[in-house]
Structures are given as structure tokens and as C-alpha cells.
Amino acid sequence: MIGIYMSGTGNTKHCVGKLLSVIDPKAEMIPIESEESVDKIRLNDAVLLAYPTQFSNVPFMVKDFIRRNPELWKEKKVFCICS
């Protein structure tokens, strides 16, 4: 599993760290804006995708990332956390 998160003030990052420490302590967590994020997702069958609610919706940056990489999500288990 890999934890991919967007976090402005740290709440979302904190939640990802807590959850991964319980369900998969060896899992890496990296910010969505990292240059490595696409490659790291490719290498994992399960993805924990985490973001803060913004205007009652998914943040634009996260929606844009999902849409720009449509092939990335096929055949994967994707768990979402919204803080």
C-alpha cells in the first residue's frame, strides 16, 4: 500500500500516518505533488488517497491529478480519506 495525500495545514497527513501505522506500518506516504507520486502508485496494488474537503468537494488539485492519470487506477484498490 502507498499513502498519497494532499495536505495544507497537516490534518490530512496526520490521518494518513495514523491509519497506515495500524493497517500497513511499512507503507510509504508521499504528497500528491511529489514528482514520485505517479511512479509510486504504479508500483502498488492498493492506494490510500487522502485530501481535505474544499468547498464541500474534492480539491481541484486532486481531481486534476486523477483525470490526468486515468490509467493509474485500473485494477487497484483505492481507499479514500477526506478530512
From candidates 26, 35, 45, 55, binder to ligand FMN by CB under 6 A: 55
Q: Is 79 helix (H, G, I), strand (E, B) or coil?
A: strand
- Is 44 or 54 the residue whose CB approaches ligand FMN more closely? 54
Q: Does 3 sit near ligand FMN (CB under 6 A)?
A: no
CB of 69 to ligand FMN, least distance (A): 21
Strand pairing report for 2-5 and 77-82: unpaired
Q: Does 7 sit near ligand FMN (CB under 6 A)?
A: yes
Sign of CA dihedral 23, 19, 51, 8: negative
